[in-house]
Amino acid sequence: MLVLMKKDHTPENVEGVRKKIESMGFAAHVMPGDHSVAIGITGNRGAIDPGEFLLLPGVAEALRVTREYKMASRDFKRKDTEIVVGGKVTIGPGRFVVIAGPCAVESEEQTLRIARLVKSHGAHILRGGAFKPRSSPYAFQGLGLEGLKILKKASLETGLPTVTEALDHRGLEMVNEWADMIQIGARNMQNFSLLQECGKLKKPIMLKRGMSATIDEWLMAAEYILEQGNPNVVLCERGIRSYDPQTRNLLDLTAVPVIKDLSHLPIIVDPSHGTGKRDKVAPMARGAIAVGANAVMVDVHDRPAEALCDGPQALLPQDFEKLVQSLRSLAQALGVAL
């Protein structure tokens, strides 16, 4: 249920509605909008009678929200959400953010080298995995805590905030301590207890789409985080499994306008994992800005043949430089800041 207040409501009216909701044993979420205030209700198992609220002073309407996600939905919040990463980079409407870096933190030398390079070509946020979810248990699993410390060092030197993946509860605590945004990878999109732990934090969470998740399932996963109290969720489209082996995944750019319609949350596109092929990354990154994504995240490596993870999809430094230049032209044409 969503309670919409009249334009001329008073703060006492809002308090009255909040108390009423809490007295019913539910949680109230007060959301100031451009014209008035909406108060969302969560925690109810069945439908609530709108009559409970319509007679309270200052209430204009009480709407049933029948979707299985509420706080993630546009019905709940009309205005696009902005998320601030590391106190300096805003992901949200009117601008386009570039996230770049190696797939994995492999060594201090490699990470600092690539961090400097992506910074010099215009990246806003540095990526790099310290905990890697690998299909084979024999593949490089990441440097763990040591990798997080290297990423932090690269961040301090370049001034770029960081995003890195947490694979499990223990990793989540460490990533929360060392990074600016926490990535929940495709394989963990429906790890509900991990999502709930993310919801208890304040740090931005980048929630990647599961490889066979529908958009509704993805938004319900986001709801697990929001509902626990962390409003800082950014979605990331990274491709879904398809039958065609030409690309690693099928990058679903349609998801961007669909998400924009259904949700107020910002959305990032990852064309590196989405295509798995270096030469397909730039065209799809340009597609991402054109369809209204708020950011792209790309793998960059200066020695991809030596990369311990995902070398074939890493952009070379010169490719990345060219990509950012072309994104700047597109941003200008589209009227977004970059």
Indicate the burial class of 42 (C-beta count within 10 angstroms; 0-12, 13-18, 19 or more). Answer: middle
Tokens of residue 108, six digits: 């201090």
Give the pair of three-digit tokens for residue 184. Answer: 């929940």
Subset of residues 306 to 335 that bind Mn ion, contact rule: CB under 5 A? 310
Determine the Cα–Cα distance for residues 54 and 58; give it in Å rounded to an integer: 9
- Using DSSP's 3-state secondary structure scheme, residue 261 falls into helix
Find, among 325, 301, 329, 303, the residue nearest to 315 by Cα.
301
Applying CB under 6 A, which residues contact ligand PEP?
103, 129, 133, 165, 185-187, 208, 238, 273
Q: Which of 39, 83, 103, 222 is close enough to bind Mn ion by CB under 5 A?
A: 103
Nearest to ligand PEP by Cβ — which residue?
A: 185
Closer Cβ to ligand PEP, 165 or 197, answer by number: 165
> Which residue shows structure tokens 């492999």?
106
In this complex, which beta carbon is closest to Mn ion, that of residue 180 or of residue 310?
310
User: For the CA atoms of 296, 297, 302, 303, what is the dihedral angle to 10 degrees?
Assistant: -130
Instruction: Identify what 133 binds: ligand PEP, Mn ion, none; CB under 5 to 8 Å per kind.
Output: ligand PEP
- Indicate the residue among 38 and 236 with the shorter CB distance to ligand PEP: 236
CB of 57 to ligand PEP, least distance (A): 49
Q: 251 is in the binding site of which of Mn ion, ligand PEP, none (Cβ under 5 to 8 A by kind)? A: none
DSSP β-ladder status, 233-237 and 267-269: parallel
37 interacts with, out of ligand PEP, Mn ion, none, CB within 5 to 8 A per kind: none
Binding segment for Mn ion (CB under 5 A), chosen from 97-105, 209-217, 226-234, 280-288, is 97-105
Output 37 or 288, the one with its CB closest to Mn ion: 288
What is the smallest separation between the CB atom of 306 and ligand PEP, expressed in angstroms? 17
Task: Give the residue among 161, 132, 162, 98 at the shortest CA–CA distance from 320.
Answer: 98
CB of 195 to ligand PEP, least distance (A): 14
The residue among 134 and 286 lying less far from ligand PEP, judged by its C-beta, is 134
Give the nearer residue to ligand PEP in terms of CB position, either 92 or 101.
101
Q: Which does 185 bind (CB under 5 to 8 A by kind): ligand PEP, Mn ion, none?
A: ligand PEP
In the bound state with Mn ion, the residue whose beta carbon lies nearer, of 186 and 253, is: 186
> What is 41-83 written as a DSSP string?
EES-SS---THHHHTSTTEEEEE---SS--TTBTTT--SPP-E
Does 223 bind Mn ion (CB under 5 A)? Our answer is no
What does the alpha-carbon distance between residue 266 and residue 294 come to, in Å, rounded to a whole number?
Answer: 6
Residue 207 CA to residue 194 CA, distance in Å, equals: 11
Q: In whole angstroms, how close is the CB of 272 to Mn ion at the nearest point?
A: 7
Residues of this chain that interact with Mn ion (CB under 5 A) are 103, 310
